[in-house]
Amino acid sequence: DHPPPSFLSVFDQMPDSPNDIYRAVSRLWAPWLQEGALRTFQQGGFYSQVARPGLRIISLNTILYYGPNRVTQNSSDPAGQFTWLLRTLEDAERDREKVYVIAHVPVGFLPFTQNTTAMRREHNERLVAIFLRFSHVISGQFYGHTHRDTIMVLRDQTGAALNSAFVAPSVTPIRNVKEPSSNNPGFRVYLFQLDSYSVQDLWQFYLNLTEANIQQSAQWRLEYVMTEAYGLRNLSPGSLLGLGFSLIPPVSKAFQTYFAHFNVNFNPQLPCEGICKVNQVCAVLHVDQRGYQDCISAGWV
Ligand SMILES: [Zn+2]
């Protein structure tokens, strides 16, 4: 989340070494995590485990790379997570597994402001480089943190889409001081293919908070099905890059839809033009510093 600096205390930090919090949570999760997963979790709050045949979950502690987490700010590899991630991806590649990466703070740039990565810039660059290198192993990346509904495409130097990231909106509403609007509560369900584990579709559900407050009851509804909302065949990186490009034209129905989804339909009439739209679109199309800078300078891609 995004607490203002005055709310941060030296105690409100995720350290890169064993501590009471990691130990307590690992005890809570002991029924579901295997021995090796519990061991790395106690060291740095991250773990990996096979979820079903051929599919490995890598749960990263990206808070270690989060700017306000000052206890790790001078470390190039907090808790050795980068080293561990590389080795885990190499093993997955060798064993012909597919990987889903899950984490709280996402890679890439915050879409509601300009030139601000969600995690520390240098850590973002390093993580993106690792994900690109192992894009043939990683079948999905799933994040939260921003409370907003966004997608991002990871591209190589030729601009080809190698991987993607989904940021799911949260159940809790929040508004950053730099944002004009909040979000409705939301949750989602993904459809994936059984052999490749590629993401096929997603169902986004939401609660109209204004209506719920008036009626004093919660009516959760389907907000959209992603392939239907944008006319996509599936949610492959290539399809999502196509969607990203379709957001660019000055008059883009896809962008209107995308931006209404961004706030989980909290305020579907809210306009996003000019710099607001450039920030949104560049955040979809580029997660690395260089590509993003070029996009912002060019006004688009
Ligand atoms: Zn957060």
Q: Give me ligand 1 centre to Cα 274, in Å.
A: 27
Cα 271 to Cα 238, 255, 258, 276, distances in angstroms:
28, 11, 12, 9
Report which DSSP code applies to 168. Answer: P
Q: Give me ligand 1 centre to Cα 21, in Å.
A: 17
End-to-end Cα separation, the chain, in angstroms: 29
Q: Give me ligand 1 centre to Cα 28, in Å.
A: 21
**For the residues 86-100, what does the mean pLDDT come to?**
98
Q: Give me ligand 1 centre to Cα 20, in Å.
A: 21
Alpha-carbon span 173 to 184, nearest angstrom: 6
Checking if the pLDDT of 6 tops 50, the result is no
Query: What confidence score (pLDDT) does residue 175 get?
Result: 85
Q: Give me ligand 1 centre to Cα 12, in Å.
A: 13
Lowest mean pLDDT among 73-77, 86-90, 235-239: 73-77
Cα 217 to Cα 85, 211, 237, 264, 267, distances in angstroms:
44, 8, 38, 18, 20
Run of H or E including 163: strand 161-167
- Write the pLDDT tens digit of every residue in 21-59: 999 999 999 999 999 999 999 999 999 999 999 999 999
- Which residues are within 5 Å of ligand 1 (an ion), measured at CB? 1, 145
Alpha-carbon span 180 to 268, nearest angstrom: 12
Q: Give me ligand 1 centre to Cα 102, in Å.
A: 13
Q: How much is the pTM?
A: 0.94
Lowest mean pLDDT among 5-19, 148-162, 209-223: 5-19
Taking alpha carbons only, the member of 164, 134, 136, 135 closest to residue 150 is 164
**For the residues 156-176, what does the mean pLDDT come to?**
95
Q: Give me ligand 1 centre to Cα 9, in Å.
A: 16
Checking if the pLDDT of 8 tops 80, the result is no
Cα 220 to Cα 168, 174, 181, 260, 276, distances in angstroms:
16, 19, 20, 17, 29
Checking if the pLDDT of 133 tops 80, the result is yes
Share of the chain above pLDDT 70, in %: 96
Q: Give me ligand 1 centre to Cα 168, in Å.
A: 12
Cα 120 to Cα 66, 70, 117, 154, 276, distances in angstroms:
6, 11, 7, 18, 22
Alpha-carbon span 288 to 299, nearest angstrom: 16
Alpha-carbon span 301 to 298, nearest angstrom: 7
**For the residues 216-222, what does the mean pLDDT come to?**
97
Query: What confidence score (pLDDT) does residue 120 get?
Result: 96
Alpha-carbon span 39 to 45, nearest angstrom: 9
Share of the chain above pLDDT 90, in %: 89
Taking alpha carbons only, the member of 31, 61, 30 closest to residue 45 is 61
**For the residues 50-76, what does the mean pLDDT come to?**
95
Checking if the pLDDT of 297 tops 90, the result is yes
Checking if the pLDDT of 254 tops 50, the result is yes
**For the residues 286-292, what does the mean pLDDT come to?**
97
**Averaged confidence pLDDT in the chain:** 94
What's the CA angle centered on 29, arms 28 and 34, to 5 degrees? 140
Q: Give me ligand 1 centre to Cα 144, in Å.
A: 7
Q: Give me ligand 1 centre to Cα 251, in Å.
A: 33
Asked if residues 221 and 229 have their Cβ atoms less than 8 Å apart, the reply is no
Query: What confidence score (pLDDT) does residue 57 get?
Result: 98
Q: Give me ligand 1 centre to Cα 66, in Å.
A: 9
Domains of the chain by start residue, with CATH: 20-298 (3.30.750.180)
Q: Give me ligand 1 centre to Cα 105, in Å.
A: 6
Q: Give me ligand 1 centre to Cα 145, in Å.
A: 4
Cα 47 to Cα 7, 50, 97, distances in angstroms:
29, 11, 16
Taking alpha carbons only, the member of 277, 278, 280, 256 closest to residue 268 is 256
Checking if the pLDDT of 183 tops 80, the result is yes
Report which DSSP code applies to 245. Answer: H
**For the residues 113-124, what does the mean pLDDT come to?**
96
Q: Give me ligand 1 centre to Cα 94, in Å.
A: 33
